[in-house]
Amino acid sequence: MIATLIAAMFLSQGSEWSLEHNTIEQGPATVHYGHVRLHMTKENPYPCMTGVLLTGKGSLSGPPTSSTPNEPLLPFDTWEKVEGGVRITFCRSADERQLLPVSTLKNFYFIVTREEFDGKDMAKLLGDWGKSGSFWDLNGDGVVDGGDLTILLSKWATN
Ligand SMILES: [Ca+2]
């Protein structure tokens, strides 16, 4: 399977933290991965970041290592689903024995699967018609056909 890398990678830089957020589109699912890095300095030994990773609508899932079934294991202090994304909070205090500046890193990885489809999705599904190994094989029977189209139409966006 060939994943389409959509050029949605962005890098945010603050004095206290930086964020790298990459996405890979896989049919109706989008893989989100990257890291947040906190920078502890003598001037600011207690860096803190809070922000929203933009994901769009959909169900959130993660790797099978998650302690909560069907939910991602996100390594931040807190995370919650909010409109259009996932809000994360990550704070640290430098240990007094640490030589500053130093930075600490959290990697994240989760998947958002859209539950509503539109004409663009139908075009992509039809583009993979008859193919095996496509991410548009929504029922997982190995081939993209009428069964998958039925699922797509049953989840057609109403707004
Ligand atoms: Ca199928």
pLDDT at 5: 39
Q: Is the per-residue pLDDT at 147 higher than 90?
A: yes
Which DSSP symbol is given to 76?
S
Cα-to-centroid distance, 150 and ligand 1 (Å):
10
Non-local CB neighbours of 5 within 8 Å, separated by 6+ positions: 24, 25
Q: Is the pLDDT of residue 15 over 90?
A: no
Q: Which residues surround ligand 1, an ion (CB under 5 A)?
A: 137, 139, 141, 147-148
- Residue among 2, 5, 11 nearest 34 (CA): 11
Per-residue pLDDT, 9: 40
Q: 96 by DSSP, 3-state: which? A: coil
Tell me, in angstroms, the distance from the centre of ligand 1 to residue 155's CA: 15
Cα of 153 vs centre of ligand 1, distance in Å, is 14
> Mean pLDDT over all residues of the chain?
87
In the prediction, which pLDDT does 66 show?
Answer: 67
39, 105, 109, 140, 143 from 48: Cα distances, Å? 9, 12, 20, 42, 47
DSSP, res 116: -
What does the domain layout of the chain look like in residue ranges? 4-113, 119-154
CA 154-158-159 angle, to 5 degrees, is 155
Query: What is the rounded distance in angstroms from the CA atom of residue 26 to the CA atom of residue 97?
Result: 45
Give distance in angstroms: CA of 21 to centre of ligand 1: 31
**What distance in Å separates the CA atoms of residue 126 and residue 131, rounded to the nearest whole number?**
10
Query: Do β-strands 29-40 and 102-113 pair in parallel, antiparallel, or remain unpaired?
Result: antiparallel
Distance 145 CA to ligand 1 centre (A): 6
**In the predicted model, what is the mean pLDDT of residues 139-148?**
96
34-49 pLDDT, tens digit per residue, is 999 999 998 999 999 9
User: What average pLDDT does this structure show over 142-154?
Assistant: 97
pLDDT, tens digit, 9 for 90 and up, residues 46-73: 999 999 999 999 999 988 766 777 788 8
Q: Please state the rounded mean pLDDT for residues 10-38.
A: 86
Write the pLDDT tens digit of every residue in 107-137.
999 999 999 999 999 999 999 999 999 999 9
Res. 26 pLDDT band, cuts 50 70 90: very high
Q: Which of 90, 15, 16 is nearest to 52 (CA)?
A: 90
3-state helix, strand, coil in the chain (%, to 5): 10, 40, 50
